[in-house]
Structure 1
Amino acid sequence: MFSLCYLPTAGRLTLTVIKCRNLKAMDITGYSDPYVKVSLICDGRRLKKKKTTIKKNTLNPNYNEAIIFDIPPENMDQVSLHISVMDYDLVGHNEIIGVNRVGSHAEGLGRDHWNEMLAYPRKPIAHWHPLLEAKRSEKEWKARTASFDSQGSCPSPRLPSSP
């Protein structure tokens, strides 16, 4: 669950990550160490990314953390937000639990939430968003935004493990 609020006079978009529930267990403990990463995308390129704090050993984290982006009103129809719920790992790669996208070019609820935010400026609009499957959506996302990712849709190379 997150809220969106846009202040057109200040050109400020605030995404407040409120909470997640029923996340997928990613660690052998049966829990995850989730955090939320938000990327500001314009014309297929990532302009900025910001993260919440990591909540240890939980599948139902509460955040209540605001992430602020400065976006002039004339650019609002060209940007979108890519929201990834990640599992923090001390060793190795952080794993994607699931993703979502909001913006005028997003599909379904992501577009509806964005349009509702624009229709009611200066008012926080909160909605629950289901996370998309990490494998499928990451592949689709990379295919659409290959211009900012030199890897294209290939997975990141992994270092060989030591004997």
Structure 2
Amino acid sequence: MSVFDFDRFSRHDMIGEVILDNLFETSDLSRETFLWKDIQYATSESVDLGEIMFSLCYLPTAGRLTLTVIKCRNLKAMDITGYSDPYVKVSLICDGRRLKKKKTTIKKNTLNPTYNEAIIFDIPPENMDQVSLHISVMDYDLVGHNEVIGVNRVGSTAEGLGRDHWNEMLAYPRKPIAHWHPLLEMKKSEKEWKARTASFDSQGSCPSPRPPSSP
């Protein structure tokens, strides 16, 4: 059972949830029973923030990683209009440190933006097992701070599809590999990320930023 905050102008926000385990074993369903349960923090799987599709392509000879942001769908509405002004920010991460960040253009008043924009990072092959990409879908706000709609991560230390997508890219060099990825809540994603990268803090070294490549 999920408890939501109703919002007339945008998608409803989940406050929390209660899961009743072994209900048939602990309750006499022939009689009315009253139960009190603590509301638990909503898991990322229960919160629908939307999805992002992007492709990954790595050129080992050039040491060039290309992430192409293709599009998003069913994003969470962040504005009173019932829409968002989304853009995508991609950060290159090594041992918990952000080396570089780049972003797409802003798409106005939409929950299903299309970008088809390439973001390129220069990474030597020997450093590919030490880096990951942090992808944030942001809502642009003319007044105040831009808000995070949802995040995703890909890399050797990511989990699930984020790791599988990365490994598939490495297995098929020079070929763009595209997948849809669900967006996760910022807090839960950060917690998982720190746990996954803690064991890598003393291993290897981060790639030094390269000067921009010549056209």
Q: Which band: TM-score by shorter chain? A: 0.7 to 0.9
1:60-103: CA deviation from partner (whole Å, max 9, x where unpaired): 00000000000000000000000000000001110000000000
Tell me which of the two structures has the higher relative contact order, counting C-alpha pairs closer than 8 angstroms and 6 or more residues apart.
1
The TM-score, its normalising length taken from structure 2, stands at: 0.65
What are the residue-to-residue correspondences of 1:43-82 with 2, within 5 Å? 43-82=95-134
The TM-score, its normalising length taken from structure 1, stands at: 0.85
Stretch of structure 1 that moved more, 68-77 or 141-150 = 141-150
| CA distance in structure 2 between the partners assigned to 1:12 and 1:154 by the alignment | 15
What 5-or-longer segments of structure 2 have no aligned partner? 1-52
| CA distance in structure 2 between the partners assigned to 1:71 and 1:94 by the alignment | 29
RMSD, matched Cα: 9.4
Larger radius of gyration: 2
Q: Do the aligned residues in 2 keep the contact of 1:45 with 1:148 (CA within 8 Å)?
A: no
| CA distance in structure 2 between the partners assigned to 1:29 and 1:151 by the alignment | 48
Q: Do the aligned residues in 1 keep the contact of 2:57 with 2:66 (CA within 8 Å)?
A: yes
Q: Do the aligned residues in 2 keep the contact of 1:142 with 1:153 (CA within 8 Å)?
A: no
Equivalent residue of 1:14, what SS? strand
Aligned to 2:77: 25
| CA distance in structure 1 between the partners assigned to 2:189 and 2:156 by the alignment | 18
Equivalent residue of 2:152, what SS? strand
| CA distance in structure 2 between the partners assigned to 1:72 and 1:159 by the alignment | 13
Q: Do the aligned residues in 1 keep the contact of 2:71 with 2:116 (CA within 8 Å)?
A: yes
What 5-or-longer segments of structure 1 have no aligned partner? none
Equivalent residue of 1:128, what SS? strand
Q: Do the aligned residues in 1 keep the contact of 2:68 with 2:117 (CA within 8 Å)?
A: yes
1:109 positional shift: 0.3
Q: Give the number of aligned pairs.
A: 163
Stretch of structure 1 that moved more, 119-128 or 130-139 = 130-139
Judged with a 3 Å threshold, the aligned counterparts in structure 2 of structure 1 residues 155 and 125 are, in CA distance, closer, same or farther, namely closer
Judged with a 3 Å threshold, the aligned counterparts in structure 2 of structure 1 residues 59 and 150 are, in CA distance, closer, same or farther, namely farther
Identity of aligned residues (%): 96
| CA distance in structure 2 between the partners assigned to 1:162 and 1:119 by the alignment | 27
Q: Do the aligned residues in 2 keep the contact of 1:45 with 1:147 (CA within 8 Å)?
A: no
1:151 positional shift: 24
